[in-house]
Amino acid sequence: MKRTARDSEESNQRLNRRTLMLGGAMGAMIAVLGVRMRYLQVDQADEFKLLAEENRINIRLIPPERGLIQDRNGKIIAGNEQNYRVVITREAAGDVDLVMRRLASIIPMTAEEMGQTIKEVNALSAFVPVTVAERLSWDDFSKVAVNAPALPGVVPEVGQSRRYPLDTDFAHVVGYVGPVSEKDLEGLESPDPLLRIPKFQIGKIGVEKWMEDTLRGEAGTKRIEVNSAGRVMRELERQEGDPGTDIRLTIDADIQNFAQVRLGTESAAVVVIDVTNGDIICIASAPSFDPNLFVRGISHADYNALTENDHRPLANKTVSGAYPPGSTFKMVTALAALEAGVVNADTKVSCPGYIEFGQRRFHCWKRAGHGTVRLERSLSESCDVYYYDLAQRVGIEKIAEMGRKLGLGRKFDLPMSAITDGSMPDKAWKLDRYKQEWRIGDTINASIGQGYVLSSPLQLAVMTARIASGRQITPRLVRMVHDKELPVPDAPPLEIPPEYLAAVRAGMHAVVNGERGTAKSSRIVDPTMVMAGKTGTSQVRNISKAERDSGVISNEDLPWNRRDHALFVGFAPFDAPRYAISVVVEHGGGGSTAAAPIARDIILRCMSGGLPSLEAYPSSQRGRIETMLKELPLRDPVTGITPVKTET
């Protein structure tokens, strides 16, 4: 069939349109390719030139700055300092042994340290950087940087390290940081990637450990470009992390230092609580240690010196030490008997120096006895027989109930390590613990804080604060988190009749200020700062009948570790209580001679806002006290420097 001219024209038009469409599409593709080629060959020429030379891009974590720990006034207790260090990456180093030998010829490194580093490098993924050396001097750091071309995979870095400027004062409270261990990672389902960085440091004990998540912060990242030799060419991108949150404690650093220094060489503990809000103003354990040693990597010699010391410097005696409270427990027994209605403040008890129960004789500390005793005198002169009598009347259940009401036998929720709950025993407790029935002799022993009763210095301070305030004071250690004041725990009334508390307080007043008070020599004569308290002495050995008949050996004649513990609890000012204190001196002998003087000096320091005034002491003691205060090696409150004593 012959095509018409019209058909031929339409066919040509369709062919032309298709040709144009195909040509346009091809032109567009060529244009896109041209633009892409220009982008790759011109705009990205430098980058792809480096990639062509076997360069690669690594992503590394940036450890965040750890949050600061401060005292109640903002003084830094735990801070950060610049740290020059060197790291190595296996995939970039190639022959790790060769590189490490070269590095050891440049910076100080023992064969043991080099071997340990090589072991770590080979055990981890090839791309994970391992810290070789830290806290390098600027000279050593510079040598590594200058020799970088001969040290593939080795990178000098400037990081941060933890520093404790007040060293021994806060070692037991704040604790210290150290490298992450396998034990630290146990139980963590999805650990923070930071924890996988070799030698990354986290809190090990104390506030550093229990507030780790708050203090650590969030990691940042950086993209770096390294060449085939592992040398860093440039940093392509950096995203800073979030620094850790700062924490402010309730402790006053200057008072803490005074207490630590005042305890001296004793194996002892002291806790001071503000009775108005439960703030722990001071919590010192002696002897102490320098936490900076652990951050830097403590030597075997230094560690052995700490562990072999019979005064146990690593132990935090304030919260982990559980001691028989001795006569400081007598207020518990007295309040239990008053509340049960079996006695009143004027009930008389005869003390011939002992009581007999069955075939056993329970002695008073005063062999000749105290004669007729009422409540106030029983506390003032610490008559044991009075409390033996009360114990038989009231029973252990009421005593234990009162002890728990006053904070004994309870583990308080504080960010500190190894907190003990002590022991406030009753019949069920003994049956569960020892599968034995409770006996009346157990009650008699418990009435004077012996036997199964155990308390920490923290618990004794809480007990005293509750007696002084009449409220359920709860201790707190953290005052602020990131400039935000934390709420003060509620302190409802104790639900103990005020007249009973007043009767016990009067007895505690007589202990320190009465004519025959056991702590009379530690009284405060300033009428605005009068202290009330109770001495205590807890036995650490049994006294046989033969020794008692021939004369009890004095503490001074016994080896140190067989002497009695010395205790004192108190509060001041008497008319408007502000501070409660507990002091325990291990194997110190008598509470009146070893613990009470320390308590007076520390509580005066709290009330005075500086060194105690000599006018607060009895005139006969001022010369001795003045010399003692002058010789205390206290830190300068501004610089934080402790003076170095020189021989004269």
Q: Read off the pLDDT of residues 450-498 as tens digits, 9 standing for 90 and up.
A: 999 999 999 999 999 999 999 999 999 999 999 899 999 999 999 999 9
364 near 310, Cβ under 8 Å?
no
Report CA Rg, the chain: 36
Cis peptide before 492 (omega within 30 of 0): no
pLDDT of 34 over the 70 cut: yes
Q: Where are the alpha helices (DSSP H) in 200-263?
A: 206-210, 212-216, 253-263
DSSP three-state, residue 340: helix
What end-to-end distance do the CA atoms of the chain give, in Å?
A: 135
Angle at 300 between CA 297 and CA 302, to 5 degrees: 80
DSSP three-state, residue 522: helix
236 near 203, Cβ under 8 Å?
no
Instruction: Give me the pLDDT at residue 53, please.
Output: 45
Q: Read off the pLDDT of residues 311-328 as tens digits, 9 standing for 90 and up.
A: 999 999 999 999 999 999
Comparing 118 with 424, the larger pLDDT belongs to 424
Using CA of residue 78, residue 81, residue 86, residue 91, what is the dihedral sign? Answer: positive
Q: What's the token pair of residue 216?
A: 């650590």
Using alpha carbons, select from 499, 471, 110, 472 the residue that is nearest to residue 334. Answer: 499
Bridge partner list, 163: 79
Task: Kindly state the DSSP code that residue 595 receives in the 8-state scheme.
Answer: I
Using alpha carbons, select from 149, 99, 105 the residue that is nearest to residue 122. Answer: 99
Rounded CA separation 372/568 (Å):
25
Q: Read off the pLDDT of residues 557-610 as tens digits, 9 standing for 90 and up.
A: 688 778 899 999 999 999 999 999 999 999 998 899 999 999 999 999 999 999
DSSP three-state, residue 220: strand
pLDDT of 647 over the 50 cut: no
Instruction: Give me the pLDDT at residue 156, please.
Output: 83
Q: What's the token pair of residue 71?
A: 């005292």
Query: Looking at residues 97-111, what average pLDDT do you find?
Result: 85
Question: What pLDDT band is residue 648 in, cutting at 50, 70 and 90?
Answer: very low
Q: Read off the pLDDT of residues 57-100 as tens digits, 9 standing for 90 and up.
A: 767 777 888 999 999 999 999 999 888 888 888 877 888 888 88
Instruction: Give me the pLDDT at residue 227, please.
Output: 63
Instruction: Give me the pLDDT at residue 511, please.
Output: 98
Instruction: Give me the pLDDT at residue 245, please.
Output: 96
220 near 240, Cβ under 8 Å?
yes
Question: What pLDDT band is residue 199 in, cutting at 50, 70 and 90?
Answer: confident
Lowest mean pLDDT segment, chosen from 48-62, 250-264, 332-346, 433-447: 48-62
Rounded CA separation 23/16 (Å):
10
DSSP three-state, residue 625: helix
Rounded CA separation 572/313 (Å):
30
Instruction: Give me the pLDDT at residue 39, please.
Output: 67
Query: With the CA atoms of 427, 432, 434 and 435 taken in that order, what torsion angle do they form, in degrees rounded to the nearest 10?
Result: 90
Instruction: Give me the pLDDT at residue 3, please.
Output: 60
Lowest mean pLDDT segment, chosen from 174-188, 266-280, 369-383: 174-188
Using alpha carbons, select from 135, 242, 142 the residue that is nearest to residue 199. Answer: 135
Mean pLDDT for all residues in the chain: 88
Question: What pLDDT band is residue 274 in, cutting at 50, 70 and 90?
Answer: very high
Comparing 56 with 249, the larger pLDDT belongs to 249
Q: Read off the pLDDT of residues 541-553 as tens digits, 9 standing for 90 and up.
A: 666 556 555 666 7
Residue 580 backbone phi and psi in degrees, to 5: -115, 145
Q: Read off the pLDDT of residues 373-411 as tens digits, 9 standing for 90 and up.
A: 999 999 999 999 999 999 999 999 999 999 999 999 999
Instruction: Give me the pLDDT at residue 547, please.
Output: 56
351 near 422, Cβ under 8 Å?
no
Domains of the chain: 58-249 (3.90.1310.10), 253-304+316-631 (3.40.710.10)
Lowest mean pLDDT segment, chosen from 107-116, 189-198, 263-272, 360-369: 189-198
Comparing 549 with 537, the larger pLDDT belongs to 537
Residue type, position 73, single letter: N
pTM of the predicted model, to two decimals? Answer: 0.84
Using alpha carbons, select from 424, 465, 440 the residue that is nearest to residue 571. Answer: 465
335 near 499, Cβ under 8 Å?
no
Instruction: Give me the pLDDT at residue 4, please.
Output: 66
Residue 327 appears among annotated catalytic residues: yes
Catalytic hit among 267, 285, 327, 447: 327
What string of DSSP letters covers 10-61? Answer: HHHHHHHHHHHHHHHHHHHHHHHHHHHHHIIIIITHHHHHHHHTT-EEEEEE
Query: Looking at residues 129-145, what average pLDDT do you find?
Result: 82
Bridge partner list, 581: 272, 570
Give percent above pLDDT 90 in the chain: 60
Rounded CA separation 523/621 (Å):
11
